[in-house]
Amino acid sequence: MKNFKKERTLVIIKPDGLQRSLVGEIITRYERIGLKLVGLKMMVPSAEMIEKHYTLDPEWVRITGEKTIKGYKDKGMKPPIEDPLQVTKLLLERLKKYMASGPVIAMVWQGAHAVQIVRKITGKTEPLMSDVGTIRGDFVLDSYEMSDIDERCIRNLIHSSGSVKEAEDEIKHWFREEEIINYRLIQEQILYDVNLDGILE
Ligand code: GDP
Ligand code: MG
């Protein structure tokens, strides 16, 4: 049977998140919903580390290229390049420059529906379109239009895994097994226990 409590996701606070002094705020958002922090580290990632991170799924290059081109067309804009693989190649160069520009914080969060819950709290990829109340919607104002004109990557504070499979691969890429800590958090009783029979004295 599926153990809901054990679902894990990877979150990276990107260089702009640190520079904006939003580390505490971001951690608070994931903490207060009831997720458990089971791994955390700070580092300046290499360009190779970032390239590998985004290409763990060999399909990512094609899917992201197609998605990006569709995005332009939906807005009535002409994509800078028509070939999806070339679009992603350009994107990847910008991602490497952005993500390796300073310290980042990588974290593993655990709990029921961790992947989906974190994506919901984080908000849509493009901050302009992220809902108010999400981290990106509340703390950053970037858009694809503005970042494209400046030929840079969109600054959206955070990376979070897009699926359970993606999370498993990404966690292995950023953390060694012994860097992730299995422990009990008292609040899990109120979140997950079937019977709440230990409250009254
Ligand atoms: P995420 O999972 O929400 O981070 O988004 P993706 O995995 O689809 O994309 C990874 C990164 O590629 C994003 O953080 C953006 O920097 C960039 N990206 C994705 N889609 C687009 C797009 O349509 N246009 C542009 N300019 N960049 C994009
Ligand atoms: Mg993604």
Distance 57 CA to ligand 2 centre (A): 10
In this predicted model, what pLDDT tens digit does every residue of 172-193 receive, in sequence order? Answer: 999 999 999 999 999 999 999 9
Backbone angles phi, psi at 181, to 5 degrees: -105, 125
> What are 158's strand-pairing partners?
13
In this predicted model, what pLDDT tens digit does every residue of 76-110 receive, in sequence order? Answer: 888 888 999 999 999 999 999 999 999 999 999 99
Ligand with smallest separation from the Cα of 65: 1
Q: Name the CA radius of gyration of the chain, rounded.
A: 18
CB of 107 closer than 8 Å to CB of 40: yes
| Structure-token pair, residue 7 | 């679902």
Q: Where are the domains of the chain?
A: 1-44+102-146+153-201, 48-101
Q: Looking at 14-162, list the stretches that DSSP marks H as alpha helix, in order from N- to C-terminal side.
A: 15-19, 23-32, 47-54, 60-74, 84-99, 114-122, 135-139, 144-149
| Structure-token pair, residue 54 | 């985004």
For ligand 1, whether the C-beta of 30 sits within 6 Å is no
CATH of 1-44+102-146+153-201, one of 1.10.8.80, 3.30.70.141, 3.30.70.1230, 3.40.50.1580: 3.30.70.141
User: How far apart, in whole angstroms, are the C-alpha atoms of residue 38 and residue 133?
Assistant: 25
Q: Which pTM value belongs to this model?
A: 0.95
